[in-house]
Amino acid sequence: MGDLAPAGSRGVVIVDNFLSQTGRETFKGENYTLQKNEDGDIEIANDRGENILRTDKGQITSQSMTPEDLASFKQIFQRMVQPASVADKLPRLKLEPIKPQLER
């Protein structure tokens, strides 16, 4: 997906791929919350709870990703489409689930 693709399209592909592979409808990470509803529409919210991308019937209807958001999803997309050995060398982004703190 090149730089001429509509803004946010990498985010849509990433969310669809990730949630489909994990079998989940919602995922809350450190920086983003990813959601896919029964109709297949996708929402991405930032860590402040603000929707930064939304689709309706497969079309991007709302996109307010910052340049930093777009760069983050571009890096994630690059990791996703690269062979594992190349992907391991790219910077990691914080989309891992938040782990609860255990009391000591």
Give me the mean pLDDT over the 50-78 stretch.
Answer: 89
Please give the residue that has the higher pLDDT: either 86 or 56: 56
Is residue 3 domain-resident? no
User: For residue 37, is pLDDT > 70?
Assistant: yes
Give me the mean pLDDT over the 18-38 stretch.
Answer: 90
Question: What pLDDT, on the 0 to 100 scale, is given for residue 93?
Answer: 53
Is residue 88 domain-resident? no
Is residue 49 domain-resident? yes
Is residue 30 domain-resident? yes
Q: What confidence category does residue 44 fall into, taking pLDDT thresholds of 50, 70 and 90?
A: very high
Question: What pLDDT, on the 0 to 100 scale, is given for residue 58?
Answer: 84
- Count of domains observed in the chain: 1
User: For residue 90, is pLDDT > 70?
Assistant: no
Give me Rg for the CA atoms of the chain.
14
Question: What is the pTM assigned to this prediction?
Answer: 0.71
